[in-house]
Structure 1
């Protein structure tokens, strides 16, 4: 038995086959999660151009964008044209023979057009777990509208409370809705596989970027529905806890999270302003939120008197959550990142990626595999003699 097979046998999804009819980020991210947990993931790509994300660079590594490696390592690639009836039929047969799970994020109605929709495939294979990853969900006036993460950030309201007051609107520079939808897809698939163990029946799971974005805004929406007040823009801070934000020191910026009254009192002691903790304007978190501007201005004055290293040391000794604002080069070299063994290299040494943020029995899933070339595994479409007989 190969090392690859040995590692996969120890992972929770060993023996599960996933067909990923996906491109860009949401479905590939879901496929990467399932693959990292031990599933075999077969990626279906356009024979004409492959997954668009192959070209989403620079930087490029071994002929594909680094982004593509990050979410497609360890998969197999079949290149085909779904508009070709013979090739679409070959894919339907592959799913019927091999697949436990199908992930798809084509535009609305795309898979149905080729006879590969959820209900169509469950008709062929009732035990199949089929997951749609859409832009705006399966109902409503926007159900057929195409969408990418920045558009959904705008339409969902996320952008409306991001950034500093008075600054131009900006988006979260991480594709939180694509990746979040991939996470919800993986959760839904795992739940459906768990139920299948008891019933033997598969089902259609549906997730979308818009629903994911609305869920990210769940606290702000609950606050608005309770108060009628729109969420503010607090920069590095947060609406309901003060002080809980970045502060400028004499030589740099640090993050401080004094999330309760006890921690706030300790912070005042560290800053040598203990009387502030007993000031009626600041004595409780609710009071501090109501008097945010006055308090933050006062704290900024104190933090500016000393350097970042001084304050971080003093805050750590007082048990107050704090830290520097690190850049990515600092993050990848940080001893905490190294200790957690988060950075992994593909088996061929071509690319370094971030491993899945989960461990089993204290060990992170080790399998990364390699990033497939376009169409490298087209032979998987052919039936074996055993399957033909």
Structure 2
């Protein structure tokens, strides 16, 4: 068994934050029923690139789910959702606050039909506060949460992070909240409403940068590949690429200097302690960079690793997915899709000793499981299903093919 076997999740979310959350829940064994509006999740068409007719974007965050198409703007569509909620444990949504209430499926309504239901709402700014009604977008949250102001090179314009970490991170916080609420429900029998936001996520991850600001009153500044509190702990350029080193304490500093053949740096009063090195980084870092320019990344990595200094190359994606350790950790998986064939995806980062996660099905085609869910979960007969289709309440996709997959 996987760790969340027996948990049923109704996924009303789309784009990134909610689908990432529900994908991880599905990887851990939850049955996730993705309810899509007619036309489907917007990301199905976000490309190129595409796998067959489905976007690579959609594929990356929607495996292990069932897709049904329900028009929640119809009364019968709303009733179908509430019938599903009666048998569910969790509902995940990332609409703008107030949308569920307008559709008459807000938390109070869900709780009336299932007192144990857990609703996880993901939004840009939360369900309360002056900004709550504003639409939420990753890049805006990065900027408003302070991340953009400390990302990039000194003296250059601010830069957003390369990944959509506000969206993805909020999806992870939603998972934490859902699992905590499930544990609480075991004792109380009651569900609850979980409220997580992109802005809160970015602010919560400021950690030591916020601490530095609170202690000094000085705004943190972008430092490129460097660390504000540790030196040298940053990215350097070799003669054929880039690599990172992490000299995180004074003991490592002494080993580092010996490995470089620079023992005189050890007791240099400007560099003896980390405090000295932070205060004099403008002298030390250029000196080291000039040295590192002379040889290859592999040379420096081998030299420093042999001396016990934490370090690593800066890899592009092609290099990442050929790395022997990445492959050994099963962070590259393959799924068989009914129309796209074999498709590669990222693996599951949590490794369980007793309840391992699995990739058991490819990202679903739009409406692939509508008939299955209506028939098996809601006990609808063929005549009911035909009538619902004719009325525009649901849509189906009949040619499902073989959706079984394997992990590589």
Q: 1:222 deviation in Å? A: 1.8
With over 3 angstroms needed to count, the CA separation of the structure-2 counterparts of 1:69 and 1:322, relative to structure 1, is same
- 2:404 is aligned to none
Deviations 1:165-191 (A, max 9, x none): 112221002010111111010110001
Cα contact 2:2–2:355 (8 A) shared by 1: no
Runs of 4+ in structure 1 deviating by more than 4 angstroms, as ranges, are 383-388
Change (3 A) 1:54 1:308: same
Question: d(CA) in 2 for partners of 1:173 and 1:304?
Answer: 26
Change beyond 3 A, Cα 1:385–1:339: closer
Is 2:365 the counterpart of 1:373? yes
Q: Secondary structure at the match of 1:278?
A: coil
Deviation by residue 1:289-338 (Cα, 9 ceiling, x = unmatched): 11111110111122223332222111011000111111100000010111
- Asked if 2 retains the 8 angstrom alpha-carbon contact of 1:281 and 1:287, the reply is yes
SS of corresponding position for 2:353: coil
Which one of the candidate residues 24, 30, 33 is aligned to 1:39? 30
Q: Name the residue aligned to 1:106.
A: 95
In structure 2, runs of 5+ residues without a counterpart are: 381-408
Which of 21, 26, 34 is residue 12 of structure 2 equivalent to?
A: 21
Distance 1:172 1:19 in 2: 31
Distance 1:137 1:143 in 2: 5
- Pairwise CA distance, 1:62: 3.1
TM-aligned CA deviation for residue 347 of structure 1: 4.0
Corresponding residue number in structure 2 for 1:56: 46
Q: Which residue of 2 aligns with 1:350?
A: 342
The equivalent position to 1:125 in structure 2, one of 111, 114, 124, is 114
- Residues 1:239 and 1:249: Cα distance change in structure 2 (over 3 Å): same
2:244 paired with 1:255:
yes
Q: Tell me, which stretches of 5 or more residues in structure 1 are unaligned?
A: 1-9
**Aligned residue among 64, 75, 85 for 1:74:** 64
Partner residue of 1:7?
A: none
1:281-320 aligned at under 5 Å gives the runs 281-320=270-309
Task: Using the TM superposition, give the Cα deviation of residue 252 of structure 1 relative to its aligned residue in structure 2, in angstroms.
Answer: 2.6
User: 2: CA distance between counterparts of 1:156 and 1:105?
Assistant: 19
Is the Cα–Cα contact under 8 Å of residues 28 and 356 in structure 2 kept in the other structure? Answer: no
Whole-Å Cα distance in 2 between the matches of residues 57 and 90 of structure 1? 32
Give the structure 1 partner of residue 136 of structure 2: 147
What RMSD, in angstroms, separates the aligned Cα atoms of the two structures? Answer: 1.8
**SS of 1:163 mapped into structure 2:** coil
Count of residue pairs brought into register by the alignment: 378
Distance in 2, matches of 1:286 and 1:22, equals: 47
Once the two structures are superposed, the pairs formed by residues 174-193 of structure 1 within 5 Å of their partners are: 174-193=163-182
Deviation at 1:287, TM superposition (A): 1.1
| 1:199 corresponds to 2:188 | yes
Work out whether residues 3 and 355 of structure 2, in 8 Å CA contact, stay in contact via their aligned partners in 1. Answer: no
Q: Which residue of 2 aligns with 1:94?
A: 84
